[in-house]
């Protein structure tokens, strides 16, 4: 049993009756809801139904034991709700892991005991001062945390308190007035130049076929690590020399690959392959099929035929691809860069070769705006070189005028 009572211009109090205590006193739970939507406020029928729905939902939460008054809710209790109702529902797998990691690592241990309404902007400012001290480290090192860690903590806290405000748990967002920390130690992307790319391909000549194909695809197509891990033979058209990016494996969870399809049609992209890469893929396909036939009933890949997989058909963990790359560049004395930097190398090389930016963006799955954000400095240097090319015409012409 419950009731609805108007409290203000656009606020109502919901009351749920829970019987009587041992002294005969009525037990009630109350909650105030505000309605900002003018279309609901102007329609009495819709307004009545909306309030009744809110009352039913409130009553269900109480009976299920999931309702907690905002003023009684600790930060730790809210974070649990935030993870279950937002992080695990709306975010990508890797982002989920990162958000949970940072909340459990430092944020909850610091704020967990506090009630949500008690946390003010000054408390958040104090937290970032704490992060800038060696005391925030968990590894015993004496230097302060990197600025990238501070930025990620800022992002997570902003998400937590934004949801708390949206869900009416707090009235004011304590993140308002907190500036985003400067990320002054951000790792710059590294790429191979022409000589280093040549050395890389020289090193590949004596390597196993699967490793040659892995690194060649990474350099020539600019695929991300998860896209490499999720690549199957059905995505490759050797006759027409194209490859389609249709899925990704960002990580393994409990030993099982997390296979993610495209977010939308735009995220599926077709990439042209070079003749040399097509030839390598044709040879690798023959070798792959022989191994597949040898496995017979031990095959555990199901209908999937991943290019980079274990002998039983299960895909390689993305971290295993990184390990193979590290072992390769160390073996050949190449400059140590990340596997993801082969993607940057691919794009940088195309820019230097003056391939149109829209064509590059389509190839690597970026918008032109994103391309300029990441590779703007390279575009600028190429643009300056292009402008200087006119001196071949202008300088002789000026000399002629002077004479």
**Any domain includes 329:** yes
Burial zone of 365 (CB within 10 Å; 0-12 exposed, 13-18 middle, 19+ buried): middle
**Any domain includes 388:** no
- 63 and 84 fall within a common domain: no
Using the 3D structure, point to which of 307, 339, 371 is the last residue of a domain.
339
State CA 92 to chain mean position distance.
6
* Residue corresponding to tokens 């790359």: 325
Among 53-57, 298-302, 308-312, 366-370, the minimum mean pLDDT is found in 366-370
State CA 177 to chain mean position distance.
26
**Any domain includes 178:** no
**Any domain includes 386:** no
Choose the most confident range, by mean pLDDT, from 34-38, 187-191, 284-288: 284-288
- 131 and 155 fall within a common domain: yes
Q: Which contiguous run of DSSP H or E holds residue 256?
A: strand 256-257
Q: Residue 343's closest CA among 219, 189, 197?
A: 219
SS3 assignment, position 39: helix
**Residue 153 structural domain:** 72-166
Angle between helices 209-221 and 194-204 (to 10 degrees): 160
**Any domain includes 176:** no
Tokens of 179: 């500036």
Query: Mean pLDDT score of the chain, rounded to an integer?
Result: 88
- 76 and 151 fall within a common domain: yes
What phi, psi does 12 have (nearest 5°)?
Answer: -135, 145
Rounded-to-integer distance, Cα 325 and Cα 219, Å: 12
- 261 and 330 fall within a common domain: yes
Q: What is the CATH number of the domain that holds 325?
A: 1.10.443.10
Q: What is the CATH number of the domain that holds 144?
A: 1.10.150.130
**Any domain includes 130:** yes
SS3 assignment, position 143: coil
- 90 and 147 fall within a common domain: yes
**Any domain includes 391:** no
How many angstroms separate the Cα of 215 from the Cα of each of 63, 158, 252? 57, 39, 21
pLDDT one-digit tens code per residue, 220-268: 999 999 999 999 999 999 999 999 999 999 988 888 999 988 766 667 8
CB 280 within 8 A of CB 213: yes
Rounded-to-integer distance, Cα 290 and Cα 296, Å: 11
- 239 and 267 fall within a common domain: yes
- 35 and 119 fall within a common domain: no
pTM of the model: 0.67
- 15 and 111 fall within a common domain: no
**Any domain includes 382:** no
**What residues does 306 pair with on adjacent strands?**
232
User: Does residue 149 register a pLDDT over 90?
Assistant: yes
Total structural domains within the chain: 3
């Amino acid at each position: 049993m419950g009731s609805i009572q108007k409290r203000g211009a656009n606020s109502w109090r919901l009351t749920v009756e829970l019987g009587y205590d041992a002294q005969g006193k009525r037990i009630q739970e109350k909650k105030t809801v505000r309605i900002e939507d003018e279309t609901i406020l102007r329609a009495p029928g819709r307004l009545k139904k909306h309030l009744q729905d809110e009352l039913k939902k409130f009553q269900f939460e109480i009976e299920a034991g999931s309702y907690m008054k905002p003023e009684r809710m600790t930060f730790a209790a809210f974070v649990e709700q935030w993870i279950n109702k937002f992080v695990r529902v709306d975010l990508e797998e890797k982002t989920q892991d990162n958000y949970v990691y940072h909340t459990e690592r430092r944020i909850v241990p610091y704020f967990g005991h506090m009630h949500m309404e008690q946390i003010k902007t000054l408390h958040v400012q104090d937290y970032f001062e704490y992060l800038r001290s060696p005391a925030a480290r968990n590894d015993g090192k004496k230097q302060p945390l990197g600025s990238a860690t501070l930025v990620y903590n800022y992002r997570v806290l902003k998400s937590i308190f934004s949801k708390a405000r949206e869900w009416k748990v707090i009235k004011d967002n304590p993140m308002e007035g907190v500036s985003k920390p400067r990320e002054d130690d951000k790792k710059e992307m590294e790429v191979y130049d022409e000589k280093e790319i040549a050395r890389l391909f020289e090193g590949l000549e004596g390597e196993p076929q699967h490793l040659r194909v892995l690194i060649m695809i990474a350099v020539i197509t600019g695929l991300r690590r998860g896209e490499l891990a999720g690549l199957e033979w059905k995505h490759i058209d050797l006759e027409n020399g194209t490859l389609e990016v249709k899925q990704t494996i960002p990580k393994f969870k409990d030993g099982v690959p997390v296979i993610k399809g495209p977010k939308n049609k735009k995220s599926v992209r077709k990439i042209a392959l070079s003749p040399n890469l097509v030839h390598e893929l044709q040879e690798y396909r023959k070798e792959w099929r022989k191994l597949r036939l040898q496995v017979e009933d031990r095959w555990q890949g199901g209908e999937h035929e991943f290019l980079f997989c274990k002998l039983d058909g299960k895909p390689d963990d993305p971290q295993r691809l990184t390990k193979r790359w590290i072992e390769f560049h160390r073996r050949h004395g190449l400059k140590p860069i990340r596997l993801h930097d082969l993607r940057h190398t691919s794009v940088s090389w195309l820019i230097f070769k003056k391939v149109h930016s829209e064509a590059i963006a389509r190839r690597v799955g970026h918008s032109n705006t994103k391309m300029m954000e990441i590779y703007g400095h390279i575009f600028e240097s190429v643009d300056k070189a292009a402008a200087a090319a006119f001196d071949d015409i202008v300088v002789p012409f000026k000399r002629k005028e002077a004479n």
